[in-house]
Amino acid sequence: MDPTSATKTGQVFDWQVLRRLLTYVQPYRGVFIGLIGLTVAAAVLGTVRPALIQRMVDVDITNNDWAGLNRSTVWLLLLLVANTLVSYLQTYYGGWLGQYIVRDIRTDLYRHLLSLKLSFFDRTPIGVLVTRNISDVETLSDVFSEGLAAMVGDLLQIAFLMIFMFWTNWQLALISLSVIPPLLFSTYVFKEKVKGSFQEVRNAVAKLNSFVQEHLTGMNVVQIFNNEDREFKKFAAINQEHTRANIKSVLYYSIYFPVAEVLGAIGVGLLVWYAAQGQIECTISKGALIAFIMYNSLFFRPIRQIADRFNTLQLG
């Protein structure tokens, strides 16, 4: 097998590998549990804000209750401060946990390399080993800081949003969620396409590192046999392969995110159209319409990001 080729899996992620990674969390389980708590808190705080604004419009402003409006504004400011603080702690400790876990994995991996036989190093390009031990191990940091924890947070936020939406107005909730099937389909297609392009990028990086390392250490041989032009052409071909793989992933992103934005805009349009009829018939309040527009924005954002979270877990 080509040593520069990456292992491909058809699963979203390998549960056995994930369990092995979680063993590295044990020394930091207090931080990990705290990170889960911060994730839950961020999901709850993110869904309370639209409900509070709905109350300000439907109760305080409608009844000309300026004292109540001032109290609600203070609560809203406190909510924003708490949300900012939780987001800061979640980002910092997620990155902190990822870096310490990567440090431990890299230490164990290097200890394992020292125990391998010389025949392994004879048949494996050094550039590939550098890529696997530096770049690929660094990706594992994202599994904990941007992959696993963030995806759990996204799913919790979606769950809390759906509860709030159906509790507030089930008709508007159904209208808002009517564009979810095409969005989920486009997200799945994007996830599958970009997964393949990421694998190609990893392979191209490994080949580049291997080629450069081998030719730098053997530059005297290249120059003795006057092979500079031929080796430069080989490097240019590998570099072009790396560029092509990256451009392919950029293409998928440039298609998916506009499609997701258009579907989100369609959802808002349907929401306003239906709520306008409710306003005429006095069955839907202005506050409910404002809250659902905010719910719609909060709901679609994590769905668009979940595809990236899955790919982070797969690459890790």
Radius of gyration of the chain (CA): 26
Is residue 17 very low, low, confident or very high in pLDDT (cuts 50, 70, 90)? low
- The DSSP line for 160-182 is HHHHHHHHH-HHHHHHHGGGHHH
Q: Is 12 helix (H, G, I), strand (E, B) or coil?
A: coil
H-state helical runs in 178-227 = 180-217, 219-224
Whether residue 30 has pLDDT greater than 50: yes
Task: Give the per-residue pLDDT at 78.
Answer: 94
Q: Is 225 helix (H, G, I), strand (E, B) or coil?
A: coil
Residue 131 or residue 175, greater confidence: 175
The count of other CB atoms within 10 Å of the CB of residue 205 is 21
Mean pLDDT across the stretch 76-91? 91
Task: Give the per-residue pLDDT at 207.
Answer: 81
CB 116 within 8 A of CB 201: no
Residue 310 or residue 250, greater confidence: 250
Q: How far apart are CA 158 and CA 9, in angstroms?
A: 27
Among 3.40.720.10, 3.40.470.10, 1.20.1080.10, 1.20.1560.10, name the CATH number for the domain at 15-315. 1.20.1560.10
Q: How far apart are CA 300 and CA 259, in angstroms?
A: 12
Token representation of residue 129: 């080993």
Whether residue 51 has pLDDT greater than 80: yes
Mean pLDDT across the stretch 43-52? 85
Task: Report residue 316 CA to chain centroid gap.
Answer: 12
Q: What is the phi-psi region of residue 282: left when phi exceeds 0, alpha when psi lies from -120 to 50, beta otherwise? A: left
What percent of the chain is predicted at pLDDT more than 90? 4
> pLDDT tens digits, residue range 146-165?
656 667 777 787 888 888 88
Q: Where are the domains of the chain?
A: 15-315
Task: Give the per-residue pLDDT at 217.
Answer: 74
Whether residue 111 has pLDDT greater than 90: no
Task: Give the per-residue pLDDT at 233.
Answer: 86
Cα distances from 180 to residues 156, 169, 177, 211, 310, in angstroms, run 17, 18, 5, 46, 18
Task: Give the per-residue pLDDT at 147.
Answer: 59
Q: How far apart are CA 187 and CA 210, in angstroms?
A: 34
Is residue 145 very low, low, confident or very high in pLDDT (cuts 50, 70, 90)? low
Q: Is 8 helix (H, G, I), strand (E, B) or coil?
A: coil
Token representation of residue 158: 């979606």
The count of other CB atoms within 10 Å of the CB of residue 29 is 10
